[in-house]
A and B are shown apart, each in its own frame.
Chain A
């Protein structure tokens, strides 16, 4: 549990950070809260020669309400998400999900940017970003790019982020007022990643579901956006038949592997239960 040797850099500006990444190439890794990266380094599964710590870069912190949505700095911690009354009022699923990540100590350090950039299918925030249709801003030597969360995840630990790029901002459109959402996660204990988890964001109009987004955590190589599951709900009154169809569609794309949380059939089944419960909870909360 002792990491290999590395050099430590602590730039004060985004430009300096980008320069350091350019300078050290694939030897360099940014560190945010360190609560995914440092455990990997202690196991020597990650051995970066240069760690570029982002914590002194003020531009990467804070939650800005832009009217249409929020711009959240990548270095905003999970605790700051939980503490933000404005975020919770407009988009309560962020707090609901953040509170299901690890424990308070970890949430004080772990960042939203680190959680979504990490690329671990066990992370909870990617599914939330898929459901909310978030956009990530990434800055590299060539400037800033916009990347849709729904296109971002390629496979475990592989994302659209290019070498040398830093994820700076998470842009979240505000779901319509009166929407209902839920994040339901099954885990073995505090500090565990999901056996399966589901995020649902939906709106109702005249007793019918007007829009629905469904996504899954830790039952595939990446967080999964279950487009067909959402489509199965739209237009329905969220009756049992529609929910059954949505659950079936979501489970259909789940490809969990067997691990200490259980065999494949169990994890798939739990994914279905999570989706069902998330739809039911979101429906109750929608107005």
Chain B
């Protein structure tokens, strides 16, 4: 239908570049020209530089620190140790998990790379020279490296500061290296079901310690304006408002005197959620010296000292009928949290949302228990491109389904299909306490299996196995399936908070008189393209072109309060706030249009970019016209201006899902696995920008490939870390990355204002198990049920060796 101004609805819709448009990323103009502004690009007058002396030991007593030689070096401004921080009560800082972490080592070091002293100098070179001049005398102590042995009776005591503390942040502590035990579900009923089951499959699955390894490492510039008592910190913060509140609580500086700014961020993936000693030391040094202090990690520091991910050691038991109907699931996890519990999880969830581990399946009975333990490793435990511990949970259930399929001698696809939660069961209440909002798993699964010709692949695999047995090939083919369900968008304030801060999010919109706008949010993009997609949400809601809407985030002085970006929460929470704020704008615009058109509000209807009189579409006011009138016409009973704020407390999480299929060929002689094909179907509800979704899926799958096939932060028994540089830590290049095939179905979230669910992390959550299942599947006919990640060359070769395929 054509409007009175001669433009069709389609033309006007296209002009908005709203929901569903493959709009190019507005951020890329600066990123592709090297004109992004990252924290290390900041230069302030008088700025000095901080650098750390770090522990070479995994566990050692500090006998003496001599800083005299460093202090004598020209250009050195200060050297801080724990003794300098004690009078300020800043030698320990609170962690996001309710523990404390040493800002600078107090009496002991507890992991290799731990911060021992902070040097401040006029340039980075002098600071690095001074680090070498600080003499620290250590007395080596025995290390706890294996988390499964952390709670042995005779295990060394790691945290002397917690001596005698039998109550932790999450309940009773029963051992000096015990952090918490978290239990969910019905233990008795689960044991009963396991005891009486026709078939029980059991497996121990280790999800190795990895690291998010964003291209930009962590860092900050702290600047204390002593005249106005105003502290500004620019830094790599995924949650700037939370940092402001925490900084105020720790330092006693009133919150209105603190400004936290996240400039452009070069990837976060959870690594930039936490608060690090570097931030605290920079702030203290700036307060002491009265000049701005910059601290930027190098790559090795990033990989070895700021937050790692995973390190979950899971024992699973799954019960089923002979024909493959699952009757119960039990899981026990030993969670290695390193030397301090600096896990980033909502307070009530010390193992995050790991209790999503019943996955996409209708499992009537389940029980989960998680033991968090201390070891001599770096602290962290962040959600590396996933919602809190959801990748671990998804890996657990998707591997266990395959393990069960082997035991039942059934096709893993068949076991999945048999146990899916059916479309009509949504909203579905899981045995471990979640309410899944929406899903249509069968449709997605059918589409995926058809797309890859699953039957054909299995036939090809049968032939491959025959050829292998006949000595005609040394390559084995594996097919890996994962059907994941995520839980994202934390979260409802009634059960989600971090350090007591409710996990709502926010958007504030100002429409300018000429019909352009600025929207500010409590989130912060680290590459996700918020400036592009949030403008699209608004364009559809308020009828102004996305190109006329600026999206701004990351400055706590201007942005409304929000909890930041991680756990795929931006679209589910801040995206919802954006739509809701847009709707407030539209409601006021309707009153203004009614006045201008001299009709009653209810006589108007919304049409893409305007309000028109019902039945008389030639009588209308465009949003642009309304915006001008809002500021410049005296309208009785209506305040001037056109602005809105929305704080959105989501009623539930969202539950994106997807079907991934990986086809791999393994050269048993070298252990080299070639990914022949990877098909990823994602259902993230309403699709805001299909191009950005595809980009997110590509990136997430590449990280999943990295984790499954090579990433590992490993420690030897003396606490020496390996994998701490990019020589060893596997970041795939374009050469190692296969071509990704993407696909989708759309099952909108029923409770989200635009039905969107979040997608940035799905590919990592679903991808890792698909790769791992493919590797295990390649050897399944030889009796293999499970082999530990990462599936790097030597481990795959060792698997082949154990099965007698190589000498």
Contacts and interface: CB of A to CB of B under 8 A. Distances in A.
B728 to A, nearest CB: 4
B797 A186 contact: no
Given A188-B730, A189-B730, A190-B736, A266 B125 contact: no
B299 A1 contact: yes
A interface: dominant SS: loop
Interface string A194-223: 010000000000000000000000000000
Contacts of A273: 669-670
Nearest to B124: A2
A44 B132 CA distance: 10
Contacts of B794: 195, 261-263, 266-267
A103 interface: yes
Given A189-B710, A189-B732, A4 B129 contact: yes
B722 interface: yes
A184 B792 CA distance: 19
Nearest to B127: A2
A122 to B, nearest CB: 10
A178 B722 CA distance: 46
Contacts of A195: 793-794
A142 interface: no
A189 B670 CA distance: 14
A106 to B, nearest CB: 12
Nearest to B733: A190
B670 A1 contact: no
Contacts of A270: 670-671, 793, 797
B733 A269 contact: no
A266 B798 CA distance: 8
Interface in A208-263: 260-263
Contact of A1 (B300, B731, B736): B300
A269 B797 contact: yes
Contacts of B671: 266, 270
Nearest to A276: B669
A48 to B, nearest CB: 15
Interface in A1-49: 1-2, 4-5, 44
B298 interface: yes
A193 B725 CA distance: 14
Contacts of B736: 189-190
A270 B792 CA distance: 14
Contacts of B731: 189
B292 interface: no
Contacts of A269: 669, 797, 806-807
B125 A2 contact: yes
A151 interface: no
B300 A261 contact: no
A186 B124 contact: no
A192 interface: yes
Contacts of A262: 792-794, 797
A5 B797 contact: no
A201 to B, nearest CB: 22
A193 B129 CA distance: 30
Given A269-B806, A273-B670, A188 B792 contact: yes
A44 B736 CA distance: 31
Interface string B219-262: 00000000000000000000000000000000000000000000
Contacts of B129: 4-5
A195 B671 CA distance: 11
B735 interface: yes
A261 B797 contact: no
B147 interface: no
B128 interface: yes
Nearest to A189: B736
A260 B793 contact: no
Contact of B723 (A44, A192, A193, A260): A260
A187 B299 CA distance: 22
Contacts of B723: 260
A1 B54 CA distance: 13
Contacts of B128: 2
Interface residues of B, number: 32
A188 B793 contact: yes
Contacts of A44: 132
A191 interface: yes
A96 B798 CA distance: 29
Nearest to A270: B670
B798 A192 contact: no
B793 A261 contact: yes
Contact of A5 (B125, B722, B730, B733): B125
A263 B806 CA distance: 15
Contact of A266 (B132, B299, B728, B797): B797
With most chain B CB atoms within 10 A of its CB, the pick from A44, A266, A267 is A266
A191 B733 contact: yes
Contacts of B300: 1
B442 to A, nearest CB: 38
Nearest to B123: A2
B722 A260 contact: yes
B431 to A, nearest CB: 41
B672 interface: yes
A267 B793 CA distance: 10
Contacts of A188: 710, 730, 792-793
A191 B807 CA distance: 29
Interface string B774-802: 00000000000000000011100110000
Interface in B706-725: 710, 714, 722-723
Interface string B651-673: 00000000000000000011110
Nearest to B301: A1
A174 to B, nearest CB: 32
A262 B797 CA distance: 10
B727 interface: yes
With most chain A CB atoms within 10 A of its CB, the pick from B298, B727, B731, B806 is B727
Interface string A94-117: 000000000100000000000000
Interface in B80-128: 124-125, 128
Contacts of B298: 1-2
B306 to A, nearest CB: 15
Interface string A79-104: 00000000000000000000000010
A267 B723 CA distance: 18
A2 B129 CA distance: 9
With most chain A CB atoms within 10 A of its CB, the pick from B299, B728, B735, B797 is B797
B733 A186 contact: no
Interface in A150-205: 186, 188-193, 195
A276 to B, nearest CB: 9
A191 to B, nearest CB: 7
Contact of A189 (B714, B733, B807): B733
A44 B133 CA distance: 13
B800 to A, nearest CB: 10
With most chain B CB atoms within 10 A of its CB, the pick from A1, A188, A193 is A188
Contacts of A190: 733, 735-736
A5 B127 CA distance: 12
Contacts of A1: 298-300
Interface in B296-318: 298-300
A172 B669 CA distance: 34
A264 to B, nearest CB: 10
A270 B794 CA distance: 9
The 5 closest A-B pairs by CB, nearest first: A262-B794, A2-B128, A1-B298, A260-B728, A266-B794
15 contacts: A2-B125, A4-B129, A103-B733, A188-B730, A189-B731, A190-B736, A191-B727, A260-B723, A261-B793, A262-B794, A262-B797, A266-B797, A269-B669, A269-B797, A269-B806
Given A2-B298, A192-B727, A193-B727, 16 more contacts: A2-B124, A2-B125, A4-B129, A4-B132, A103-B733, A186-B793, A189-B733, A189-B736, A190-B736, A260-B714, A260-B722, A260-B728, A261-B794, A262-B793, A266-B671, A266-B793
Interface of A: 1-2, 4-5, 44, 103, 186, 188-193, 195, 260-263, 266-267, 269-270, 273
